[in-house]
Amino acid sequence: MLLHCQAADAWAEVGARSQAKAALGRAEDAAALDLSSVIHDEVAGVFSCPAGRLANYGAAVHLRAGSPAQALAYADRGLASLQRQAVRPLGTVAQLHITRAGAHLLADEPDGILEALSPVLALPAEHRTAPVRQRLRDLARDAAGSPMGDSAAGRRLQDVVEIALREAALALSLSAPTDGWISDHD
């Protein structure tokens, strides 16, 4: 299932909408199979693809395909699914909120953009991982190239994203070991 999701993501990234949607459909078909009587040891960690992660891929595919309503539906489904999990992957949750913001941008709903981003901006800066930062950059780039790019809302979004990225860079650089730290611990 995860490989189908990643194929869908890759196809969407290069603009191959029909291939992306077909791969997403295969992932959803695989998710619908009940293999509990045959498979007794689900792979966990980075290889797992629970409903929230599948929805994250689906939301991104539909956003890139220019379907804001479907992107929002997938993102909301993913957030609801992740809310029911005992342990929530913060990166996936953040990516779903950023996708929601992108869907509002695509639908020309500026008020929804910052509202959708607020949970991401509330995260501690060190939790804004590389995929989250990339999605924020992509959102800012898309906003700059949109009709709202030069508006007050567009400039506000650019400022908010720039500050969030700067905070993350600072927080992550402060927590990274330095050459001296490595030398001191040989």
CB atoms within 10 A of CB 185: 7
Q: Averaged over 49-61, what is the pLDDT? A: 87
pLDDT at 155 over 70: yes
Q: Rg (Cα) of the chain, in Å, rounded?
A: 18
Per DSSP, the three-state class of 126 is helix
12 close to 56: Cβ distance less than 8 angstroms: no
pTM value is 0.78
Q: Averaged over 110-130, what is the pLDDT? A: 93
Residue ranges with strand state E in 80-171: none
Tell me, what's the pLDDT at 185?
Answer: 45
**Structure tokens, 86:** 């005992």
| DSSP conformation class of 178 | P
Tell me, what's the pLDDT at 27?
Answer: 81
pLDDT at 166 over 60: yes
Tell me, what's the pLDDT at 179?
Answer: 55
**Which candidate, 27, 154, 161, places its Cα nearest to that of 98?**
161
List CB contacts of 135: < 8 A, sequence separation 6 or more: 94, 95, 98, 99
Per DSSP, the three-state class of 88 is coil
Sign of CA dihedral 41, 46, 52, 57: negative
Tell me, what's the pLDDT at 34?
Answer: 55
Each residue of 71-119: pLDDT tens digit? 999 999 999 999 998 888 899 999 999 999 999 999 999 889 999 999 9
**Which candidate, 42, 44, 11, 47, places its Cα nearest to that of 26?**
11
What is d(CA 135, CA 118) in angstroms, rounded to the nearest whole number?
14
12 close to 64: Cβ distance less than 8 angstroms: yes
Alpha carbon 46 to its chain's center: 15
Tell me, what's the pLDDT at 43?
Answer: 56
Token pair 């700059």: residue: 144
